[in-house]
Every structure is written in C-alpha cells, then in structure tokens.
Structure 1
Amino acid sequence: MTNEPAPVAVQFRLFEAQVVRSLRLGPTMRRITFGGEQLKDLASGGRDQSFSLFLPRPGQSAPVVPAEFGERWYADWRAIDPAERAVMRSYTIRAHRPELAEVDVDFALHGSGEADAGAVGGPASGWAARAVPGDRVCLLGPAVADNRSVGFRPPPGTDWVLLAADETALPAVGAILDWLPAGTRARVWIEVPHPQDVQDLPSAGEVEITWLIRDGRQPLPAAIRAAELPEGSPYAWIAGESGLVKAVRRYLVGELGIDRRLVNFSGYWRRGASEEDLRAEAQS
C-alpha cells in the first residue's frame, strides 16, 4: 500500500455550468455565481482551492473543450484550433454551496475599463464584466476535497499565519479566513486599487487585516517590512502579482530567516504577461 496521490483524472473532472447571477463588489471586483446540477458533485477543499475555468470565444454559445478529460487533458485542449478552443483561466472558489449546486467566483476586472488601468486585461476580465444569467462555461475542478490544488496547508505547530495578497488573490484570502479554525492568529495585508474595493472578511480566527490602497505604487512589501510581527512559528501564504510576491518572499526568507518550507507563494499574474505567456514559460 502506498501514499502516492491519486491520478489527476481521479482528483479532477469537468463540470458544465452556467451563470446564475452577478454582484458588483467594488470598482475592481465582480462576483459571478455559477450553477448547474453537475456542481453538486464538486468537492472543494476550501481555502485557496483553485480550478480552471473554460469560457466560450466570442460568437460561441458554449466553450469548446476536449470531448474527454484524462491525464493528457492539457495536450488535448492545446490540440484544438486556437481560434475555436475555449479560453482557459485559473481562479479560486470563493464559496461553494453543494446543496444548491452553486459556486461563487470573484473576478478582478483588469483591463475591462472598470479596474486598475495599469494592469493587464484579457478575455476573462471582459467576459466577467459582460456576463449575464444563462451564459455557459465549464469548470475543471476537484472531484475529491483533498486535492493538490489546495495550497494553504499550515503544518502542526504553527503559532500564527501571515497572509499577503493583491486584489487577484483577495478571493483566496477571503476563503482562507472563512476556513481558519477558531482562535487561529492571523496577520493579513491586502493591496487593492481603490478604497471601495475593501471588503468585510469575517473569520473565526483572531485576525488583524491591513488594507493598502495602491494609488499608482505597490505599498504591500514596505508595509510588511515596517510591521512588528508576532512571536512564534509562522506559516506564510503570499499570492498576487509576481513582483510583489517575490519581494515579500525575499524579505521573509532571506532577511527574517523564515524556513522557506513554511512560505507558500504563488504569482497569480505578471505585468505585461498573459496567462498563456506564463503557462508557455512554465512548459519551456
């Protein structure tokens, strides 16, 4: 008997869904609620649970995806004509209501005319800004709750949690705070483009949140440097624009001496690069 993880095709599957409703959260964020009978079988692990969202191209009524999902799903998707294959983007499940077969996903509206003018826009931002009930999508999401697309995993012995994020990782921060066990200490820094992007993020943990307004600069790394951090063994989770993530990680690991194994980091995006660019770099 081994402890090897289940194959990707066992951990994940395709779910057909459609837009049920949308809600404007602020100048930068729009929440899209997806529904569909298949979503009753989605098995989100909570926290920063990520998934792949497939969107139709302009003029299509539904996204074009591989006929079957298996271990070679990415190659099969790439083999479809680029002009026809679905737009694929990575997102976090903000909330999951299996009893209602609903999933909330928060979109940062980069480049849609409604968000930070300095950020890179793309087809997903534009789609979210225009989405209406009935629009069809596909989710490549978890079929088992304990899956490899959950990154936030504080080890035993963690005394406190550090979260650092920009608006693209704000949905993951909200879901992590929803999940935190009662009494867990957490220090949180969130950088957003506008004061109206500040959200109420409830938690059972003992949470201190510092909101930072970008205003043409990137204040988050400096704010963490200036902070007096708690004593004890931390677990850090950093996500957002890759330059921000690198700066914070470099400080925590290189200057504070935090064990790199206790710093989970993810560059959700990079200025001047699309997700296709980043995926191509990762494959090279």
Structure 2
Amino acid sequence: MSLLAVSSVVPLTPRMVRMTFTGDGLADVGTWPDQQLKLLFPKPGGSALVSSSADVSVWYQAYLAIPESERPWMRSFTVRSLVDGVLTVDFVLHGTDGPASAWAASARVGDVIGRFGPSPDYARPLGTADLLVLAGDETALPAIASLLELLPASQRRLAFVEVADPLEEQAIPGVRWVHRSAGEDLVSVVTSAEVAGSVWVWLGGEASAVRALRRHFVSLGVSKKDIEFAGYWRRSLTQDDAPTADDLAEAQERIAALSE
C-alpha cells in the first residue's frame, strides 16, 4: 500500500473528471486488461495510509484494526491508464453522498489519497472469440474504453455504455451510447442486440443490471467462463454496507466461473 498525489485534474464531462497521480511503486506496476485497485480517502483529520504490506490479508487486517471514526473510506476503481509511473483514474461525480465523489468534486493538485493494488494476482486475459461484447454504465466506462484500445482493428466488437444524457458521451469510437434521459436502459438495449458466432462478454456497472445481462448471455448459449462480470455498485447501498444474498450469490458464481 502506498500514497498517491494528484498531479492533474481535467473535467471530461459534466459528471466525470479525470485525474492523474504519481506515487511510490507505480513505475514498477505492469499493465494488463481491466486493472482494478482500491483507493482510500481520508476522513476529516485522518490519514489515508494503512500499512506498507503488499500482502492483502495483512493489509486488510491492518485496515480493519483502525478505529472506524479514523478508518479511511475505501472504494474500488478501474485504472484508465498507467504509463511511465503516472496513474490515470476517471471519477464519476454524483453529488456529495459518496466519499469518493465528494472528494473528486473538490480535489486539487497535491491532494493525497491511498492506494492498494493493482495486483497481477487478479489479472485476467482479454477474451478471444469471433465477437467481443462489452457493456456497462458510466462507472464501467474507464474499463470499457481501456479494453477497446487493446483490440486489433480486425476484431468484431459491440460496446454499450449507459450514461445520463448525450453530454456524458466521450470520443470513444464504436460505442453505442445508451441515454437514460431518452428513457433507455442498458439491459433493454443490450438484450435487443443480435449476436452470432463465438462470443466473449465483459459486463460491469450496477449489480442487478450486470446479473440480468449475464443471465441473458448464458441463455443465448455463451459459456459462463466466457463472461467476465462485476457489480461495481448497488442501488441504495454502498461498499460499506454488508453484502446482500444476491451479492453473495454473485461472488459464488464468479468463483465457479473461474474454476470451469
């Protein structure tokens, strides 16, 4: 675990801001598809530093040992890019209800947060198939954009991203934007798309939408091992809340898919 210092802040859309960070150890981290990491945001008067251990069990026990009033808020993010020791992360701004969004809305160059990861222990290769389908909401957009950049021009792909309205679109070729302002939703649009041949699927975003889409592709005959999925957030719940029965079932499905 180490600290990150903000080196730039650039608004991308009305609801998304891009930040770059520098920090010890970043130059030694490799790159792979869909890199995940934990960011830690200090509470007022507290610190973002937890432990220097790279062992996840040791680090997490040290995190839990911090009194709750001082324990930094921890949230999961996807790396937008990591080049020459500079980490880029895109933040969705959704008001001041969440600690990450509240921090990002007022972050300035020089501000410091903590990080744990990304770890190569969780690296998964990009799938191979006739058709790659990527789908998610704005929280999954950084991952989808980075995955699209890895694909050769000859690779058939379908990419769907649900956002609030057209102002939230970014200059990412090949994306089918799904606008909530127009009454669209990700599940309806994706399940209406025609897919054929061998298919590999990547899904991210709100947990119930991810589960619905995964069931859809399984029903089409896509093997569970060819579906990467992650519920990034839960409606009316935060990462601090206890897992629901659906969350636990999703975790079991992910474990089962990895063992197939």
Query: Do these two structures clear the TM 0.5 threshold for a shared fold by scoring above it?
Result: yes
Number of equivalences? 246
With normalisation by structure 2, the TM-score equals 0.87
Q: 2:215 aligns with which of 246, 250, 253?
A: 250
Classify 1:249/1:105 alpha carbon distance in 2 versus 1 (closer, same or farther; 3 Å).
Answer: same
Classify 1:85/1:241 alpha carbon distance in 2 versus 1 (closer, same or farther; 3 Å).
Answer: same
- Per the alignment, residue 172 of structure 2 pairs with 201
- Per the alignment, residue 41 of structure 1 pairs with 28
- Per the alignment, residue 263 of structure 1 pairs with 227
- Per the alignment, residue 84 of structure 1 pairs with 70
Q: Is the 8 A contact 2:2 2:49 kept in 1?
A: no
Q: CA deviation at 1:152?
A: 5.5
Q: Which amino acid aligns with 1:39?
A: L
Q: CA deviation at 1:161?
A: 0.1
Unpaired segments ≥5 residues, structure 2: 252-260
Are residues 1:28 and 2:48 paired? no
Classify 1:217/1:148 alpha carbon distance in 2 versus 1 (closer, same or farther; 3 Å).
Answer: farther
Give a deviation string over 1:91-141, Cα, whole Å, max 9, x none. 01101112xx211100111233xxxxxxxx310110011110111122212
Classify 1:154/1:201 alpha carbon distance in 2 versus 1 (closer, same or farther; 3 Å).
Answer: same
- Per the alignment, residue 9 of structure 1 pairs with none
Give a deviation string over 1:173-201, Cα, whole Å, max 9, x none. 01101111331111011100121110112
Classify 1:151/1:274 alpha carbon distance in 2 versus 1 (closer, same or farther; 3 Å).
Answer: farther
- Per the alignment, residue 111 of structure 1 pairs with 95
Q: 1:164 aligns with which of 111, 128, 135?
A: 135
- Per the alignment, residue 277 of structure 1 pairs with 241
- Equivalent positions of 1:130-145 (< 5 A) are 130-142=106-118
With normalisation by structure 1, the TM-score equals 0.80
Unpaired segments ≥5 residues, structure 1: 1-13, 113-120, 203-207
Take 1:196 and 1:130, find their aligned partners in 2: how far apart are those partners?
Answer: 21
Secondary structure of the residue aligned to 1:227 is coil
- Per the alignment, residue 234 of structure 1 pairs with 199
Take 1:124 and 1:142, find their aligned partners in 2: how far apart are those partners?
Answer: 18
Q: Is the 8 A contact 2:2 2:24 kept in 1?
A: no
Take 1:152 and 1:216, find their aligned partners in 2: how far apart are those partners?
Answer: 35
Q: 1:66 aligns with which of 22, 33, 51?
A: 51
- Per the alignment, residue 43 of structure 2 pairs with 57
Taking only the aligned residue pairs, the percentage that are identical comes to 37
Take 1:241 and 1:274, find their aligned partners in 2: how far apart are those partners?
Answer: 11
Q: CA deviation at 1:149?
A: 3.0
Superposed CA RMSD: 2.1
